[in-house]
Amino acid sequence: MSSFKFYIPTAVECDRGISRKIGEILKSNQAQKALIVTDQGIRKAGLLRTIEQSLTEHEISYDVFDETEPNPSAESIMKGLERLKTVGTDHVVAVGGGSSIDTAKGIAIMACNTGHILDYEGVGKIPNPGYPLIVIPTTAGTGSEVTASTIVTNSLTRFKTAVISPYLFPKLALLDAELTLKLPADITAATGMDSLTHAIESYTSKTATPISRAFAIQAIELIGRNLPKAYYVGDDIESRENMLVASMLAGAAFSQSRLGNVHAISHTLGGIFNIAHGIANAVLLPYVMKFNLPACPDKMRDIASALGADTTGLTFREAGDKALQLVCSMNEALHIPRTIQQLGVSLELLPKMVEDSMRSGNVLINPRLTTPADIKAIIENAYQGNL
């Protein structure tokens, strides 16, 4: 690549316990009232307690919208917007995983734009910046705290649509590993593999840049070293923190490069079958890596090295095979199913799955040229376990 741009306006602060500074931060931003966007699981787990205390201590009034749903629908975003307008807030704070963050992005942007969130499907269609958004991720996976996109499901068509605009970059991301210590192992696995998928798809994307590749390869290395420990030990704060950093780095990488076929297909599976995003990516990743390997064996070799393989004396292709094996071993260690059939996918809707996947802009920047027949074959292989 001879020319490229790099743009991430989001400030990032990482420290243990930093989420307790939210009141102080909002005060210094002259905030009067904040809308916290989260889900009921986060609230029940008690993760809002110290954040609410901090807001009260700094006399920031707030309201909580906890109706975020997995694979958030456009309706849930418009419902959150109604709440924002009713209670009259001037800042939005997302506390949660990718669904809460994407819902908060939709609410914050629609606060200053007319119409419906689905009117803005695609790239660069939003005319006005939204309310300031501060993001506190409670999973290490989505990277949405540093990206310019929100993923919204159209409940009528079950199509997951991407709204992409520089106005969707949050103002600030607070990475607080203390909030992730009690994350259940299965969610640690699924979200961590989502991050690894972001990093690998970004690294191999046709539109990767020298800066996005630097972020992506660092994320791959951190995930290889820390995800198994975060999964098996859980309250190991160092591995949790490293996963939060890796997730942010992978997000920063793909905010520049976009993704590839794994996300094109997984968004389809999420939209049609309501399958959790991270787990769908984890299962699909090896099948797409195998498909992509002939197109970018040199980059696959780099991925194998970042994941700890000794690639001395191997050809690019042999080393790339090691990357595939290591990702499969990681899935196995994290008890991720081998097939999308095990996730509840049915092939009855295969033509729609192929059609919806091809609609994703991610197919166009996947490293290997991809036809509808290729997508069909990848889905069938992932269904049957043909690797």
> Least separation, in Å, of the C-beta of 198 and Fe ion?
6
* Cα distance between residue 200 and residue 204, in whole Å: 6
* Stretch binding Fe ion (CB under 5 A), from 15-23, 191-199, 231-239, 366-374: 191-199
Q: Please, how many CA atoms are within 13 Å of residue 45, restricted to the half-sphere of its CB?
A: 18
> Least separation, in Å, of the C-beta of 277 and Fe ion?
6
* Cα distance between residue 109 and residue 124, in whole Å: 13
* Cα distance between residue 222 and residue 226, in whole Å: 6
Task: Tell whether residue 194 is a contact of Fe ion (CB under 5 A).
Answer: yes
* Residue 22 or 208 with smaller CB distance to Fe ion: 208
Q: Total binding residues for Fe ion by CB under 5 A?
A: 1
Reading across the β-sheet that carries 122-123, which strands appear in turn? 122-123, 159-164, 149-154
283-302 mask for Fe ion (x: CB under 5 A)?
Answer: --------------------
* Cα torsion through 162, 138, 90, 7, rounded to 10: -50
> Least separation, in Å, of the C-beta of 281 and Fe ion?
6
> Least separation, in Å, of the C-beta of 142 and Fe ion?
6
Task: Tell whether residue 241 is a contact of Fe ion (CB under 5 A).
Answer: no
Task: Tell whether residue 102 is a contact of Fe ion (CB under 5 A).
Answer: no
Query: Per DSSP, what are the bridge partners of residue 136?
Result: 95
> Least separation, in Å, of the C-beta of 144 and Fe ion?
8
Which is nearest to 306 in space by CA: 384, 362, 240, 222? 222
> Least separation, in Å, of the C-beta of 58 and Fe ion?
34
* Stretch binding Fe ion (CB under 5 A), from 85-93, 187-195, 233-241, 338-346: 187-195
> Least separation, in Å, of the C-beta of 300 and Fe ion?
20
Interaction residues for Fe ion, span 32-51 (CB under 5 A): none
> Least separation, in Å, of the C-beta of 20 and Fe ion?
28
Residue 60 to residues 23, 27, 36, 231, 367, Cα–Cα distance (Å) = 7, 7, 12, 36, 48
* Residue 176 or 194 with smaller CB distance to Fe ion: 194
* Residue 79 or 359 with smaller CB distance to Fe ion: 359
* Residue 34 or 104 with smaller CB distance to Fe ion: 104
* Residue 194 or 241 with smaller CB distance to Fe ion: 194
* Cα distance between residue 119 and residue 138, in whole Å: 29
Give me 101's structure tokens: 């963050």
3-state helix, strand, coil in the chain (%, to 5): 60, 10, 30
* Cα distance between residue 105 and residue 103, in whole Å: 5
* Residue 31 or 269 with smaller CB distance to Fe ion: 269
Cβ distance 14 to 244 under 8 Å? yes
* Residue 109 or 151 with smaller CB distance to Fe ion: 151
User: Would you list the DSSP string of 216-236?
Assistant: HHHHHHHHHHHHHHHHHHS--
> Least separation, in Å, of the C-beta of 64 and Fe ion?
26
* Stretch binding Fe ion (CB under 5 A), from 68-76, 99-107, 194-202, 374-382: 194-202
**Residues in contact with 236: Cβ distance below 8 Å, sequence separation at least 6, in sequence order:** 229, 230
* Cα distance between residue 339 and residue 345, in whole Å: 9
* Stretch binding Fe ion (CB under 5 A), from 111-119, 174-182, 190-198, 363-371: 190-198
Identify the DSSP state of 39: B
* Residue 102 or 194 with smaller CB distance to Fe ion: 194
Which is nearest to 131 in space by CA: 20, 29, 25? 29
* Residue 194 or 374 with smaller CB distance to Fe ion: 194
**Residues in contact with 212: Cβ distance below 8 Å, sequence separation at least 6, in sequence order:** 6, 202, 205, 252, 253, 254, 256, 257
* Stretch binding Fe ion (CB under 5 A), from 113-121, 189-197, 206-214, 341-349: 189-197
Chain positions contacting Fe ion, by CB under 5 A: 194
